[in-house]
A and B are shown apart, each in its own frame.
Chain A
């Protein structure tokens, strides 16, 4: 089955700096890669996603890149703000598996004011 590795597990950045989280996946058939932000005790919230036919996607301060050959994808947050502090999860899925998501281990991001 699919295996998703996520690094780093914790990330502390100064407000205004950029944060980068990296994930690798094992199943070359995976074709959908969402990123979720989860605050304590709450549901994961989709912040951006990318499909395998696209190499990069951007939404304001958030961007995701995908390298299908290397089977890795990354989340970039620019101009970080204290409200960006949360746990971020990457995930991978494929249509053939009924959209079943396999999550990375998560990255706890702390933005220091």
Chain B
């Protein structure tokens, strides 16, 4: 299957700093990528839909100025957590679908464990 690579896998940062997470589709082009957040023992909650060459679409309740998303190419989307606080500590995971016409399988990155201290 297709490969989605996410980096870093773990990051610890101080409160008030910003953290950038990268999501790359390695062997296919992804016009759309999705960013999810997962708290311990909970489900994956969609944060935003990242569209190549256009602004991201954020889910209700997600602050777009805090979670900056950039999708500058068909193989790379980035999520920047700005002015991070301890409550932003979570598992962030991206997924990407191919550019095919039918509903296609989503491929997940390995996730990023963010700890804000």
Chain A residues with a Cβ under 8 A of chain B: 31-32, 34, 41-44, 46, 49, 51, 89, 93-95, 98-106, 108
Listed by A's residue number, 6 A-B pairs whose Cβ atoms lie within 8 Å are A41-B91, A46-B105, A49-B105, A101-B44, A103-B43, A106-B42
The A contact surface, by secondary structure, is loop
Chain B residues with a Cβ under 8 A of chain A: 1, 32, 34, 41-46, 49, 51, 91, 93, 95, 97, 102-106, 108-111, 113
Closest to B105 in A: A46
A contact residues around B93 at 8 Å (CB): 43-44
B107 CB to closest chain A CB, in angstroms? 8
A42 touches B110 (CB 8 A): yes
Closest to B111 in A: A43
B contact residues around A99 at 8 Å (CB): 32, 97, 103-104, 106
Report the bound CA distance from A89 to B43 in whole Å: 8
With A43-B109, A49-B105, A51-B103 known as contacts, the answer to whether A103 contacts B32 (CB < 8 A) is: no
B contact residues around A98 at 8 Å (CB): 32, 49, 51, 97
B contact residues around A51 at 8 Å (CB): 103
